[in-house]
Amino acid sequence: MSGYIREASRNPFVLRIAMLAALGGLLFGYDTGVISGALLYIKEDLRAGALAQSWIVAGLLAGAVVGALAGGRLADLISRRRTLLVAGVIYVVAALAAAVAQNAGQLVAARVVLGLAVGAASAVVPLYIAEHTPPKIRGGTVSYNQLMVTIGILVAYLTNFALSGVAHNWRWMLGLGAAPGVVLVAAMLAVPYSPRWLMMRGRRDEARAVLRRTRHADADVEGELDEIESVVAQERRHSWRELFGPRLRPMMVVGIGLAVIQQVVGVNTVVYFSPTILTYTGLKADDAIAQALTVGITNVVFTVVAVLLLDRVGRRTLLVVGTAGLTVALALLGAFFGFGWEREAPWLALAALVLFIASFAVGLGPVFWLMISEIFPLAVRGQAMAVCSLANWAANFVVSYYFLQLVDAIGRAWTFWLYAGLSVAGIVFFVTRVPETRDRSLEEIERELSGPAAARTSPPGRPRHV
Ligand code: BGC
């Protein structure tokens, strides 16, 4: 485990860049976590009916679908860094607008705009960090983003808890989100452009200056620049249609497959509805909210474990082991409700939720966002990541929106067993389709996944930056 820390401490400038950019993940997590608590008060204050409430929650997800798409395109056009800057500004304005909304319509509008920023940041942060980071520590370092997502969720749970008796508390809950947004904007003014984006623009001198700061003193910076240049030279901009053409299709299948599986195992059912699930066991609402904090803490702790392990044991192993663990947890939750264990073993529901989130946090949580930053050729990376993030937000929307209706239609037990079945299908997909990307340069991955034709055209004898 100490391998990651030892290696990462040799690249302090990369770590600083990654930590600052990962603030984008904090916005994503805070918003995901805050709304369930805030909604309890919003519905009274703004007299929001069931439909308005659904849209207050889902408005953000709908905005994020569009934001992810636009963010990926902007990242290529105006740079990853400036896209995050714009996302930060939009986020601050929309968080304040949400906090002062006078009716449900205004609040939904603010949440949609907030979603634009959250969606853009979700696609661009992993991309930006991956392009700065040497291969040996890329897994752990890109996953600072996911770590910040989980910290954001936990901070939101704690904020909800702390503000529970305060007047106008939901306005504070939503408005406080502006604070990390301001920090993100300031941070983006202080970090450099990604060297790969600079090379796409033919700005080799600037790219060299950045690489000199982000690589060890003995690293072969010119070799790395040549390698990036060679993939830039072979590539050109692709139309949206070509993203799904024969050459890129296998990678798109992996990216979109991971995006959808990450959501259909029901993670946001757990994140949004843990307190609700715990009240099914007979707990009072206050106790259920307190116990749900355990889920938030476990999520952070096991994401740290993932950061330490990703570059050592690899992405595929963590995906498979983690998803196997969460399948067991889902089967247990199904059995708990199906066989009526609520009275004999009420603790089992919390234990299963904790096992679920720990397993998600070491595997699917970080690995999806990491892999989509690694598997696509540079020329289409922004666009392709945008499509995968969009698929993730859309699947998130569908699963979260229909969870309670699904429970009504097929019951609690079968809802969890359905998720368990989808997780098993996910494991089969990982084993058969997902490549291992540990410890390889983005250019090496690009050559290999682009097939023999691309490999043949790459210049011989290029140094490998592993
Ligand atoms: C997912 C989110 C989820 C979070 C939980 C992220 O990777 O994309 O939908 O809420 O993990 O930690």
**How far, in Å, CA of 314 to CA of 407, rounded?**
36
Predicted confidence (pLDDT) per residue in 233-247, tens digit: 876 666 677 788 888
Closest by CA position to 369, among listed 315, 406, 417, 328: 315
Closest by CA position to 367, among listed 173, 197, 168, 126: 126
Q: Is the pLDDT of residue 456 over 60?
A: no
Give residue 466's pLDDT.
29
Residue owning the nearest CA to atom 5 of ligand 1: 150
Give residue 325's pLDDT.
98
The finding on whether 169 has its CB within 6 A of some atom of ligand 1 is: no
Q: Given ligand 1 and candidates 30, 32, 142, 370, which is best to mutate, with the most ligand atoms within 8 Å of its CB?
A: 32
Q: Is the pLDDT of residue 459 over 70?
A: no
146 CA to middle of ligand 1, Å? Answer: 8
Question: Please, are residues 178 and 92 in contact by the beta-carbon 8 Å criterion?
Answer: yes
The finding on whether 367 has its CB within 6 A of some atom of ligand 1 is: no
Q: Is the pLDDT of residue 32 over 90?
A: no
Give residue 342's pLDDT.
78
Average per-residue pLDDT for the chain: 90
**Lowest-pLDDT range of 17-21, 244-248, 349-353, 422-426:** 244-248
68 CA to middle of ligand 1, Å? Answer: 15
The finding on whether 148 has its CB within 6 A of some atom of ligand 1 is: no
| Domains delineated in the chain | 2-191+235-453 (1.20.1250.20)
The finding on whether 145 has its CB within 6 A of some atom of ligand 1 is: no
85 CA to middle of ligand 1, Å? Answer: 22
Predicted confidence (pLDDT) per residue in 222-232, tens digit: 999 999 988 88
**Lowest-pLDDT range of 140-154, 177-191, 376-390:** 376-390
361 CA to middle of ligand 1, Å? Answer: 9
154-187 b/e (C-beta count within 10 Å ≥ 16 → b): bbbbebbeebeeeeebbbebbbbbbebbebbbeb
- Closest ligand 1 atom to the C-alpha of 268? 10
Q: How much of the chain, in percent, has pLDDT values that exceed 90?
A: 66
Query: Can you tell me the mean pLDDT for 426-444?
Result: 93
Give residue 28's pLDDT.
87
438 CA to middle of ligand 1, Å? Answer: 22
Please enumerate, as own/partner, the contacts of 91-94 that have beta carbons within 8 Å and a separation of 24 or more.
91/27, 91/117, 91/118, 91/121, 91/177, 91/178, 91/181, 91/184, 92/178, 92/181, 92/182, 92/185
Predicted confidence (pLDDT) per residue in 334-344, tens digit: 999 899 887 77
pLDDT tier at 347 (50, 70, 90 boundaries)?
A: confident
103 CA to middle of ligand 1, Å? Answer: 29
- Closest ligand 1 atom to the C-alpha of 369? 7
Closest by CA position to 98, among listed 83, 84, 87, 114: 114
268 CA to middle of ligand 1, Å? Answer: 7
Element (H, E) at 440: none
Give the count of beta carbons closer than 10 Å to the beta carbon of residue 225: 18
Cα–Cα–Cα angle for 300, 306, 310, rounded to 5 degrees: 160
**DSSP state letter for 242:** G
Question: Please, are residues 297 and 430 in contact by the beta-carbon 8 Å criterion?
Answer: no
Give residue 464's pLDDT.
36
Q: How much of the chain, in percent, has pLDDT values that exceed 70?
A: 95
Give residue 438's pLDDT.
93
Residue owning the nearest CA to atom 1 of ligand 1: 365
Tokens encoding 346: 């009420």
Q: Is the pLDDT of residue 212 over 50?
A: yes
Closest by CA position to 80, among listed 21, 159, 13: 21
**DSSP state letter for 46:** T
Indicate the residue type of 395: A
Indicate the residue type of 8: A
**How far, in Å, CA of 466 to CA of 463, rounded?**
9
93-109 b/e (C-beta count within 10 Å ≥ 16 → b): bbbebbbebeebeebbb
- Closest ligand 1 atom to the C-alpha of 396? 9
Predicted confidence (pLDDT) per residue in 367-402, tens digit: 999 999 999 988 888 889 999 999 999 999 899 888
Tokens encoding 187: 């941070």
Residue owning the nearest CA to atom 2 of ligand 1: 268
Give residue 454's pLDDT.
41
Q: Is the pLDDT of residue 178 over 90?
A: yes
Give residue 450's pLDDT.
73
Give residue 23's pLDDT.
94
pLDDT tier at 452 (50, 70, 90 boundaries)?
A: low
pLDDT tier at 202 (50, 70, 90 boundaries)?
A: very high
Tokens encoding 39: 């909604």
SS (H, E, C) 93-110: HHHHHHHCCCCHHHHHHH
**Lowest-pLDDT range of 195-199, 263-267, 451-455:** 451-455
**Lowest-pLDDT range of 68-72, 93-97, 112-116, 292-296:** 292-296
**Lowest-pLDDT range of 72-86, 301-315, 402-416:** 402-416
Query: Can you tell me the mean pLDDT for 83-100?
Result: 97
Indicate the residue type of 231: V
Question: Please, are residues 179 and 13 in contact by the beta-carbon 8 Å criterion?
Answer: no
Query: Can you tell me the mean pLDDT for 92-107?
Result: 97
Give residue 465's pLDDT.
37
End-to-end CA distance of the chain: 19
Residue owning the nearest CA to atom 12 of ligand 1: 150
pLDDT tier at 252 (50, 70, 90 boundaries)?
A: very high
- Closest ligand 1 atom to the C-alpha of 263? 9
